[in-house]
Amino acid sequence: PTAQVWDPCCGSGHLLTTLTLLHRDRITSVLGSDVDHAALELARKNLALLSKHGMTARANELQARAERLSKPAYLDAAAAAQRLARRLASGDGSFDYNIAPADVFDPAQLRRALNGRRPNVVVTDIPYGEQTAWHGPDAARGLDGMLNSLEEVLDEGTVIAVTTRARKVRLTGPRRPLAWFRIGSRAVILCRIASRLQHRV
């Protein structure tokens, strides 16, 4: 099965970009949204790497930097980017990705960000307080508030994977995850939208 993936707290888009590069054959489209407009500009640049053109441009940029600064590490990075560009070219050379501003605690903004898209997988690495934090007037609602908002806009059966740098992803409400586990320094929970909710228009 293939996945349409959404990260509603995408930040710079690093997670979406890496996940798609690793599983390009199983992901048909990605959407990143965030309340931080400066982060979304970085996300646009990173998600552009999912196309042959974007990755080739990054390889050329790294090559020029290596020549200007005489740093072998940039040459290695340029060669890796060129290999990835060739791999991307084995498909049609393009990829469906979108970026949109949205406050994860506001279902109306989330619906606008989705713009009719129906992702079946949500993956996000939530703010953990060292380099970033929840923003907006409803920031105190945290993880449970985010999940409440997502349940209002997602289809039944959609899988939500939430990671954070902690010993455990803590839920304070009655909701219970399907599963939880650790990967390195990250704790992960998996949830699924159990029933189609009546969305407010």
DSSP 39-63: HHHHHHHHHGGGSHHHHHHHHHHHH
For residue 96, what pLDDT is reported? 85
Which domains does the chain show, CATH number per domain?
3-44+97-192 (3.40.50.150), 52-89 (1.10.287)
For residue 137, what pLDDT is reported? 66
Q: What is the pTM of this model?
A: 0.83
Position of tokens 């060292």? Answer: 130
CA 38 – CA 2 distance, rounded (Å): 31
Mean pLDDT of the chain: 86
For residue 198, what pLDDT is reported? 42
Which tokens is 183 given? 């990967």
pLDDT tens per residue, range 127-162: 754 555 666 666 667 788 899 999 999 999 999 999
Residue 169 near residue 163, CB atoms below 8 Å: yes
Tell me how crowded residue 83 is: count the other CB atoms within 10 A of its CB: 12
> Is the pLDDT reported for residue 94 higher than 70?
no
